[in-house]
Amino acid sequence: MHWGEFFLQTSKDTPKDAANAAHRLLIRAGFLRQHGPGVYSHLPAAQRVVARLRRIIGEELRRDGLLEWSPASVTPAGLAAGRLDAEDGEAAGLSPTRCADALAADFAHAQIKSYKQLPVGVFAWQAMPNDGLAARRTLLRNRAPLVCEMQGFFADGESLAAGRERLTAALGRIMKRVGLACTRAADVSDDGAAGVTLMVETPVGGECIARTADGSYVAMFDAASAAEPAAPPNGPLDELVEVYTPDAGRVEDVCRVLGNTPRDLIKTLIYTAAADGDGPRPRIVALVRGDHEVNERKLCRVVGREVELADAELIGEITGARVGFAGPVGLVERVDRLIVDRDVTVMRNAATGANKSDHHITGVNPGRDFPLRHERVTVADIRNVVASDAAPNGGGELQLVSAARVGAVFELGTALCERLQATYLDRAGKTRALALLSGRLDMDQMMALVAEMHHDDDGLIWSPAVAPFDAVVLAIDPRDEEVMRVAQQVHDELIAAGVDALLDDRDDRAGSKFKDADLIGIPLRVVVGKRALAAGGVEFATRGSREKVAMGVGEAVERVRIGTKGRRDEGM
């Protein structure tokens, strides 16, 4: 293809909101058009990258037995909510992934009848809207990325777990072929489904994983746990003492007044949970150590619904005090649930709010001064892990590492299939609900991550597996007939050899052509100019190397052909 036939316009201007190299370079190199914050169109060069990603993904998923299908772009509200009625319209308030799973389960309801058909897996390409938080966690802050959605249906939990491992391995092969070093991180969905999230470690990732140095434990930050807290040494239990702490509503202020440390304090946070129908919003109290923070995703999983911090008025109504002076002593009867972090249960002679403005209590001991066993009390892991926490598997201390999410696989179990009557007859002729596996790959995030992980000061460095073109032929002095004749010859011979080549025949300065070639990042390059032809050949170079090798036309074509095939095969 000639450059003039392919719409590829580079730019010297850096996007004002570019937060990373991928964003900056994909816009400057003419791969994306940004219409607004998080809103992009794929230009022809990006479409070529996406086409190669789709080919790789499709090959590996078919190798694992999945079949491609094209689900409806609109999900009836009843279906998305897990009902078999025929309501019209899209489902409000439900994630696009949840809708995709519901469509696949409805397909299974109609098509799968017997254990002899299992397992069944499908995949599809869709533009999926991201919510605000999910969009901010992507390199491009993309609000509607192109994704590959996957669903698998299995007979039972054992085969479901095995299917998750196979699908995760397939996604790992995809990442390897694309040129991304991926880390598997244990994860838990908001509704408690166990899964694995694929992460690429990068300082601009927008998310965090907790891991040990040896990699024996890796988990998403919101799913990570520290080791069980050790029981404290035996010792005397102090009596409760109320202390005047004027205006000391923050941890650091309390420590200054009492002369202790944050780990000696119990923080009391008051939340409200989503209501059942028109009923009142449940009042939830969460307790963590003063040097820890509540992880609200963990808290939501324990509560079983969304929560939000209570306002000052409700806090005053519950505690009788201003914000900053709440404490667990005497509080359990005033709220619907008291959630106690594990580390709080082993504290001794702690300090906490007195439920009285400008006052705290010292000598507080869990189990004596507030209950740990009560119908309204739950002990659970609800805190953020911190660096230097001991890992739960005994593998050493946890490290917190910045990373970017690229895909995930979750075991959703039988709940959705039960609601949608997606069942099968087992060997004994009994009706059983199918077990559902759900996976996702974000192709826009993959493209951005390849750009982020593989570039230099001059521009992108695409791997041959996903590059928009295998090679570029630069015609220097295009007004020279001999230059153009040889450049066209090299281009045509490369095309005949199965190499996807781009001929830069623009009437432009040589320096501009070299800069554009570097910026766009095509892996292999053949330079045809009067000087090289006078020396008897052309120049061959690879992107990322400053070395140019002079050789004959035939040799250059062969070098590109072998280089393209060999480097593509590395990812197979």
What is the DSSP code string of 261-312?
-GGGBEEEEEEEE--STTSPPPEEEEEEETT--B-HHHHHHHHTS-EEEPPH
Distance CA 382, CA 347 (A): 16
Q: Domains in the chain, ordered, with CATH?
A: 53-224+399-451 (3.30.930.10), 241-380 (3.90.960.10), 469-569 (3.40.50.800)
pLDDT for 84: 66
Please list the residues that pair with 370 across neighbouring strands.
Answer: 366
pLDDT, tens digit only, all 572 positions of the chain: 888 888 788 888 887 888 899 999 999 999 999 898 889 899 999 999 999 999 999 999 999 999 999 988 777 777 766 676 655 444 444 456 678 899 999 999 999 999 999 999 999 999 888 777 778 888 888 888 999 999 999 999 999 999 999 999 999 999 999 999 999 999 999 888 999 999 999 999 999 999 999 999 999 999 999 999 998 888 899 999 999 999 999 999 999 999 999 999 999 999 999 998 888 999 999 999 999 999 999 999 999 999 999 999 999 999 999 999 999 999 999 999 999 999 999 999 999 999 999 999 999 999 999 999 999 999 999 999 999 999 999 999 999 999 999 999 999 999 999 999 999 999 999 999 999 999 999 999 999 999 999 999 999 999 889 999 999 999 998 899 999 999 999 999 999 999 999 999 999 999 999 999 999 999 999 999 998 898 889 999 999 887 889 999 999 999 999 988 755 555 44
pLDDT of residue 89: 47
The residues, ordered by sequence, that sit 6+ positions from 182 with a Cβ below 8 Å of its Cβ are: 171, 172, 175, 176, 198, 199, 200, 406
Beta strands in 155-301 (DSSP E): 183-188, 194-201, 207-211, 218-220, 241-244, 266-273, 283-289
Instruction: Report the pLDDT value the prediction gives residue 26, as an integer from 0 to 100.
Output: 95
Q: Kindly state the tokens that stand for 345.
A: 């249960």
Q: Is the dihedral of CA 80, 84, 90, 91 positive or negative?
A: negative
- Answer yes or no: are the C-beta atoms of 75 and 91 closer than 8 Å: yes
Q: What angle do CA 105, 168, 66 make, to 5 degrees?
A: 45
Distance CA 264, CA 99 (A): 46
